[in-house]
Amino acid sequence: MVFLTLEEIVKKHIRNFNRYKFLLIELVKKGIKLKYRRSYLGIIWTLLEPLLTTIVLTIVFQKLLGTSSKQGEPYAIYILTGRLLYGFFNESTKVAMRSIRANSAMIKKVYVPKYLYPLSSVLYTYVIFLMSLFILALASAVLGVVPTIHILEAVVSLVVLFLFCFGLSMILATISVFFRDLEYLWNVLSMLIMYCSAIFYYTTRLTGLASYLVKLNPLYCIISNFRSSVLYGRSIFTTPSEFQMLIYATVVSILLDIIGVFLFYKKQDEFILQI
Amino acid sequence: MGKVAVKVDHVTMRFNLSKEKVDNLKEYAIKFVKGQLHYNEFQALKDVSFTVNKGDRLGILGLNGAGKSTILKVIAGVYKPSEGHVERYGKMAPMIELGAGFDPQYTGRENIYLYGSVLGFSREFLDEKYDEILEFSELKEFIDVPLKNYSSGMKARLGFAIATIVEPEILILDEVLSVGDAKFRRKCENKMQGMFDKGVTVLFVSHSIEQVKNLCNKAILLDHGRLIAQGDIEEVAAIYEAMTE
Write the pLDDT tens digit of every residue in A123-144: 999 999 999 999 999 999 999 8
CB contact under 8 A, B118 and A112: yes
- Residues written for chain B: 245
**Dihedral in degrees, nearest 10, Cα atoms A178, A180, A182, A185:** -160
Domain-embedded: residue A15: no
Tell me how many domains chain B contains: 1
CB distance A108–B100 less than 8 Å? yes
Q: Given an 8 Å threshold on Cβ–Cβ distance, is A105 in contact with B76?
A: no
Residue B239 lies in a domain: yes
Q: B196 in a domain, yes or no?
A: yes
Collect all residues of chain B within an 8 Å Cβ-Cβ radius of residue A1. Answer: 85
Question: How high does pLDDT run on average in chain B?
Answer: 84
Contacts of A273 in chain B (CB under 8 A): 15-16
Q: Which sign, positive or negative, has the C-alpha torsion A92, A95, A97, A100?
A: negative
- Decide if B99 is inside a domain: yes
Which residue does chain A place closest to B115, by CA atoms? Answer: A23
Selection from B80, B11, B15 nearest residue B41 by Cα: B15
What is the number of domains present in chain A?
A: 1
DSSP structural state of residue B107: B
Q: Distance (Å) from the C-alpha of residue B138 to the closest C-alpha of chain A? A: 24
B28 contacts in chain A (CB < 8 Å): 179
Domain encompassing residue A189? 24-274
- Calculate how close chain A gets to B79, using CA atoms only, in Å: 7
Q: What gap in Å lies between CA A95 and CA A103, rounded to an integer?
A: 11
pLDDT at B39: 60
When CB atoms are compared, the residue of A1, A37, A106 closest to B118 is: A106
Q: What is the pTM of this model?
A: 0.87
Q: What angle do CA B6, B8, B13 make, to 5 degrees?
A: 135
pLDDT tens-place string over residues B179-207? 667 888 888 888 888 888 888 898 988 87
For B82-104, what is each residue's pLDDT tens digit?
899 899 888 887 777 777 778 88
Cβ distance of B121 and A22 shorter than 8 Å: yes
Whether residue A104 is contained in a domain is answered as: yes
Task: Count each helix (H run) and each strand (E run) in chain A, helices first.
Answer: 11, 0
CATH of the domain at B75: 3.40.50.300
Which of these, A88, A128, A125, lies nearest to A223 by C-alpha position?
A88
Strands ordered across the beta sheet of B92-95 = B92-95, B170-174, B201-205, B57-62, B218-223, B226-232
Do the domain assignments include residue A7?
no
- B118 with A23: Cβ contact below 8 A: yes
Asked if residue B8 belongs to a domain, the reply is no
| Cβ within 8 Å, pair A109-B117 | no
Domain containing B183 equals 55-82+91-244
- Within-domain flag for B25: no
| A220-274 confidence digits (pLDDT tens) | 999 999 999 999 999 999 999 999 999 999 999 999 999 999 999 999 988 888 8
A17 within a domain of the structure (yes/no): no
Within 10 A of A13 (CB to CB), how many other CB atoms are there?
13
> Is B96 in Cβ contact with A34 (below 8 Å)?
no
Residues from chain A contacting residue B100 (CB–CB below 8 Å): 105-106, 108-110
| Cβ neighbours of B98 in A, within 8 Å | none
Cα of A270 to nearest chain B Cα, Å: 9
Residue B201 located in a structural domain: yes
- Domain presence at residue B1: no
Q: What is the ipTM of this complex?
A: 0.80
